[in-house]
Amino acid sequence: MTMHTLFSRFGRFASEHPASHDEKVAAPKALDLRGRIALMDEFENTGLRWFWATDEEGLLTYLSHNAAEQLGTDEANMLGQKLTSLFTLDYEGNIDGVQRPLGFLMSARHTIADLPVKVAIDGHEVWWRVSGKPVSDAAGEFRGYRGSAKDITALRESQIDASRLAQFDALTGLSNRHRMTKRLTSTLNAYRMAKRSCAVMMLDLDRFKQVNDTLGHPAGDELLKQVAQRLETVIRNKGEIGRPGGDEFQIMLPDIDDRGTLGEIGSRVIQMISQPYSIDGSRAIIGTSIGIAIAPYDGLETEELVSAADLALYAAKGGGRGQFRFYSSELKDGANLRRQIEEGLRDALASGTIDLHYQPLVRTANHTASGFEALMRWNHPERGWISPAQFIPVAEDTGIIGNLGEWALMRGCQDAATWPGDLRVAVNISAVQFASDDLPRIVERALQASGLAPNRLELEITESIFLGDPHATHVMFRDLKAIGVRLALDNFGTGYSSLGYLKDAPFDKIKIDQSFIRGATEQGNNNAALITAIVSLAEALDMETVAEGVESLDELSLVTDLGTSHVQGFVFASALAQAEVLSRLEEGQLAYQPVGPAKHRAGRRTLYRKVGIIHEDHRYEGVLRNLSRTGAMVEGLLDVPTGTQLVLDMGEGQLAVSTVRRSNEAVQGLEFETPLVDDGAGGLCTRHRISPYALAAAGMPLAALPSGHYPLDQAANGPAPSGRPKFLQVELSSLSNSPR
């Protein structure tokens, strides 16, 4: 039935019921029926809205020509078809869930008001907005629907674009801060009810500003896009990635609370992000630091969990960058320490609390020192000695590194000038210093003021200097070599190495990073082969080699056999104050005798801290002497038989099930049922912790894990354990307070 046919019926009705005289007088003021039909046809032809009608069974009895044309047919072919068959999706759905499908509304004979539907058109997506009302005859019998529709495809696409802009980062296509917050909040709310876990990683790019400054903001934007692509390659379907802003990224990982798994993901992310980038023909290298927090252990609410991850990220950056850190309650103290470092670092030089200590660089051929590396030491007035790994990153962030570096050059040259013979001094140069045009003049002033011969000064430079302008780097190398100083490539092999550096840069020495030395003596470890390759390369380029961080006699023997020319590490000496260096030199003690353990012991840390030791239903207090991935040495219980099952409570919900393998009076050697994992800070932690859900079931309020110890038998607030303790506990005060 066409619109003309529809109105023709009304025409016959009108001819059978002629208007009165009064109506005839008024008629010229209004369109007649033919004009009204023409007006409706013209309106349909505009495409602004279409009309449709169905019978009582929902079969089409009328459809506008334009609507049929958009469907790729004519109206005659559409008559008799179900209206709902035109749509592949007969409703879009509202956020509040009130909207109902078209089929439901029609079967219930409800009014249809602006219902969005997807039209079944092959090749492209078209959306209509449908309205209609049920129609009844004079007897009140339902006769079908009469309605209209309009094309809202352009409007919907515009809404989708606007929604995407509101939820996604325009540069990378990742979720933005608003969407990530919303997604994390809804996930945590749902998971809290289901007693599930969710991890959050916060990432911050290291050295991104340097790329932005040297290559420009468009290059920085391209770099961020490539970082996003690499993150998606690592994470895949394990979680959702967002970019809150700047050079920060956030990753949500549902249903993961295994810190071993999270550490592996973090390590892969760091490794992937740290690979070189090609941007408009230029080569850029950055790194990343990662903070990790896990719900419900570290927080239940979005703000609490993100704050914990941020604090862990802050600690990762402060610990030397290029690493991950898990959140722990101790990090709040670390944040306070960083603030103290920032406040005190500016006055440290003036107050004389920063000093240089010197560690010998020893020839493997005869164990005599060829020189010393100058290492900064800071004796904080309140905190005591603070590691350079803690204050050097702060100095770089706050811009103080330039002043510190210049002072170290001046002081190092002055001290070395008092040493006899041709002993060299090695001074570290940061990437910030290296990028300064003033560096050659600062070096010259230090040499002139001290009277030190240029060939006795060795500048140690890390591979991060190659992140800048290649031409400027080449010019700097030329100017420094023109002065006559020596150049050493420090920490070689830590992730940014390239043979191109060695081909083009005039280095006199390569320092092999201690990460290659660690584990090199273990069977099946490939580090020895890598050391051999580095030594061979250096010899071919007429460069010396230094094995860094050598601590045991077997490591010393290995690097000597592999051909390294020098060794640096505790196996010979730690860093000494200038007075101690002069004392040795005055006595003619240039030779060093190796000291230390015969063999390297993987990952064992000497500690002294209180722990809980749980046996059956009794908890004892003990002292943790040392710790490795697979076991620990504890003191506190007398005569515990080998084979006894114990649970070591290391605090903050960390329980390690273990077996006594060695026992000697009050000392037990434990073997863990499940090996510990890397905590990202050079330490170890358990894969899993006591779940706050379990603590809540035992009577404690549901909250993030508090600090301290809380075994389940105490958390339940039940009666005291029955039975007598099996072992006698030694008073902790009787144990030595110094590590053995």
**pLDDT tens, residue by residue, 644-693:** 999 999 988 999 999 999 999 999 999 999 999 998 877 899 999 999 99
Instruction: Report pLDDT for 603.
Output: 53
What pLDDT digit, counting tens, does each position of 473-487 carry?
Answer: 889 999 999 999 999
- Give the pLDDT band (50/70/90) at residue 300: very high
- To the nearest whole number, what is the mean pLDDT of the chain? 84
pLDDT over threshold 60, residue 367: yes
- Strands (DSSP E) contained in 616-654 are 618-627, 631-635, 645-649
Question: Which of 151-160, 229-238, 649-658 shows the lowest mean pLDDT across its residues?
Answer: 151-160
CB neighbours (10 Å) of residue 579? Answer: 7
Instruction: At 247, list the tokens.
Output: 């050079």
Which of the given ranges, 61-75, 430-444, 464-478, has the highest pLDDT on average? 430-444
pLDDT over threshold 80, residue 9: no
pLDDT over threshold 50, residue 599: yes
Instruction: Report pLDDT for 37.
Output: 67
Mean pLDDT score, 120-142: 85
pLDDT over threshold 60, residue 405: yes
- Give the pLDDT band (50/70/90) at residue 259: very high
d(CA 534, CA 242) in angstroms, rounded, equals: 39
Which of the given ranges, 33-42, 84-93, 246-255, 309-318, has the highest pLDDT on average? 246-255
What is the fold of 47-158? Beta-Lactamase (3.30.450)
Peptide bond into 296 cis (omega under 30): yes
| pTM score of the predicted model | 0.62
Instruction: Report pLDDT for 450.
Output: 96
- Give the pLDDT band (50/70/90) at residue 740: very low
Pinpoint the alpha helices (H) of 639-683: none
Query: For domain 354-586, which architecture applies?
Result: Alpha-Beta Barrel (3.20)
Instruction: Report pLDDT for 29.
Output: 54
Strands 645-649 and 655-664: antiparallel
Strands 605-615 and 50-54: unpaired
| Nearest Cα to Cα of residue 367 among 593, 544, 599, 597 | 593
Instruction: Report pLDDT for 494.
Output: 65
Domain ranges of the chain: 47-158, 168-329, 354-586, 605-734
**Sequence letter at residue 111:** T
**Secondary structure of residue 498 in the 3-state scheme:** coil
Instruction: Report pLDDT for 454.
Output: 96
Strands 645-649 and 486-492: unpaired
Question: Which of 239-243, 454-458, 612-616, 723-727 shows the lowest mean pLDDT across its residues?
Answer: 723-727
Instruction: Report pLDDT for 350.
Output: 80
- Give the pLDDT band (50/70/90) at residue 48: confident
Instruction: Report pLDDT for 448.
Output: 96
Query: For domain 605-734, which architecture applies?
Result: Beta Barrel (2.40)
Instruction: Report pLDDT for 122.
Output: 67
314 versus 253: which is more confidently predicted?
253
pLDDT over threshold 60, residue 1: no
Instruction: Report pLDDT for 295.
Output: 96
Question: Which of 54-68, 220-234, 559-573 shows the lowest mean pLDDT across its residues?
Answer: 54-68
Nearby residues of 423 by Cβ (< 8 Å), 6 or more positions away: 369, 370, 371, 372, 416, 456, 585
Instruction: Report pLDDT for 738.
Output: 38
pLDDT over threshold 90, residue 84: no
Mean pLDDT score, 617-634: 91
Q: What class has domain 168-329?
A: alpha beta
d(CA 581, CA 569) in angstroms, rounded, equals: 16
- Give the pLDDT band (50/70/90) at residue 165: low
- Give the pLDDT band (50/70/90) at residue 156: confident
Q: Are 730 and 636 in contact (CB under 8 A)?
A: yes
pLDDT over threshold 50, residue 19: no
Instruction: Report pLDDT for 123.
Output: 63
- Give the pLDDT band (50/70/90) at residue 267: very high
**Sequence letter at residue 167:** Q
